[in-house]
Structure 1
Amino acid sequence: MQQFIARLTVETRGRSLLDVTRRVAEILSEEGAREGLLTLFIRHTSASLLIQENADPDVRADLLDALDRLAPQNAPYRHDSEGPDDMPAHVKTAVTGTNLSVPVAEGRMLLGTWQGIYVAEHRARPHRREVVLHFVGALTDR
């Protein structure tokens, strides 16, 4: 059994879902991943990771709107030192999660036809986010 750890830096535009599927696939290819399990972990408490539909952009817009309804900015939060979007971002991260596991076979992630990996930025302003990739399994001989 072999493993590698890589980091992916993502520049967000504020509240959005950013598709990082291609960038993750490139890292797997560069590192020679063949068969195993990929774990992704975002190192933040106000952004999260999702596997979501990658075909219809309305799905992503509707999902962001639903999360806003779940954790509205105007709710009476105690934690507000970083602005009105901060505590709602923490709630959204708690609901959606900070890690994903994706099986890999023949060097490719076994995502479904319409699935993509997204960084969900829950804050209103742009941020630099870091995603850690940890692969455990078989690597190609180099």
Structure 2
Amino acid sequence: MEVLQDEIVVTTGGRGSFEVTDRVAEFVRGSGLVAGSLHLFLRHTSASLLVTEDADPQVRADLESWFGELAPDGHPTFRHVDEGPDDMPAHARTLLAGHSLLLPVSGRELMLGRWQGVYLWEHRTAPHRRHLFMTLQGEFAPPR
């Protein structure tokens, strides 16, 4: 089994979801991986990765609203506020949504469903530069 790794940087505009499907798919297509898997790991504790609906942005807005109820900014039980009232809620949201994904690859393509996209979900209110580490494993063919 062979392994190929790379990293992309995503600049967020603050809290919200930022689609990375095309950038990730470009890495996969250029890799020569014909059968295997892609592991995505977000190197941060206040943002998440998710696969979700990519056709209707209201889905992501609804998720944001729901997570806002689960881990609201400035909640009185949160004592960790070193970087502001959104600090601890961002960590809690990351634990709920996750910071890594494992996706199947076949024929140099991500095997996403018709309405699925890959998103970086920023939980902080300020813009950040997020590092997304990508690892491909499996059977590689020579690049086309």
Residue 70 (1) aligns with residue 70 (2): yes
Identity across aligned pairs (percent)? 47
Gaps of 5+ in 2: none
Residue 35 (1) aligns with residue 38 (2): no
Q: Deviation at 1:139?
A: 1.5
Question: What CA distance in whole angstroms lies between the structure 1 residues aligned with 2:74 and 2:129?
Answer: 25
Question: What CA distance in whole angstroms lies between the structure 1 residues aligned with 2:130 and 2:6?
Answer: 14
Q: Name the residue aligned to 1:97.
A: 98
Q: Name the residue aligned to 1:110.
A: 111
Gaps of 5+ in 1: none
Superposed CA offset, 1:89-128 (max 9, x none): 0000000001000000111111111010000000001000
TM-score (norm 2): 0.96
List aligned pairs for 1:75-94, cutoff 5 A.
75-76=75-76, 77-94=78-95
Deviating 4+ runs (over 6 angstroms): none
Superposed CA offset, 1:24-66 (max 9, x none): 0001122222210110000000001000000101001111111
Q: Superposition RMSD on alpha carbons, in Å?
A: 0.8
- Aligned residue pairs total 142
